[in-house]
Homo-oligomer: A and B are copies of this chain.
Amino acid sequence: MDKLQLDNQLCFKLYALSRKVIAVYRPILEALDITYPQYLVLLVLWEVKSITVKDLGARLYLDSGTLTPLLKRLEQKGILDRQRDMEDERSVVITLKPAGKDLLQNAKKIPETLGSCISLGQKEYQQLKGQLDSLLAQLTIDQS
């Protein structure tokens, strides 16, 4: 097997599939007027309400160079607030605003909608998730 052949490259498939799945999300998220990375930020904020940029980045594996402009766009839309932590002025704390909380209702049906676009048996789903988790964990040891 020629490992330099495109078809044999696991990473290429991962990269291509990741973009394809995000493309499936795109028209669905367009109804909420948000992008996929913005949706990920909201998934976290719907769970915790308030979080620093640093902690948000740790959960999404994204750095401030990516998050800061993204969060500013969400701030301009009135979805969240950005403010310095009083106790540690180096940190910026993100807080969900009512408009952002309201989006949760419209998002509730997204997982189901997506499931109907991508047919994947329960067993295969769990298996794939497990393998992705395992690889992700393997590549995440070095940065605390």
Contacts and interface: CB of A to CB of B under 8 A. Distances in A.
Interface of A: 3-6, 9-25, 36, 40, 43-44, 46-47, 59-61, 104, 107-108, 110-112, 114, 118-120, 124-125, 127-129, 131-133, 135-136, 138-140
| A interface SS class | helix
Contact of A128 (B119, B120, B131): B131
Contact of A17 (B5, B14, B19, B104): B14
B43 A9 contact: yes
A60 B110 CA distance: 28
Nearest to A7: B133
Contacts of A13: 129, 132-133, 136
Nearest to A129: B10
A104 B3 CA distance: 12
B24 A107 contact: no
Contacts of A21: 11, 14-15, 135, 139
Contacts of A132: 10, 13-14, 17
A21 B47 CA distance: 28
28 contacts: A4-B43, A4-B46, A4-B107, A6-B40, A6-B43, A6-B59, A6-B60, A9-B43, A10-B125, A10-B128, A10-B132, A11-B21, A11-B36, A11-B114, A13-B136, A14-B14, A14-B17, A15-B21, A15-B36, A16-B61, A16-B136, A17-B135, A19-B61, A20-B61, A20-B140, A118-B135, A127-B131, A128-B128
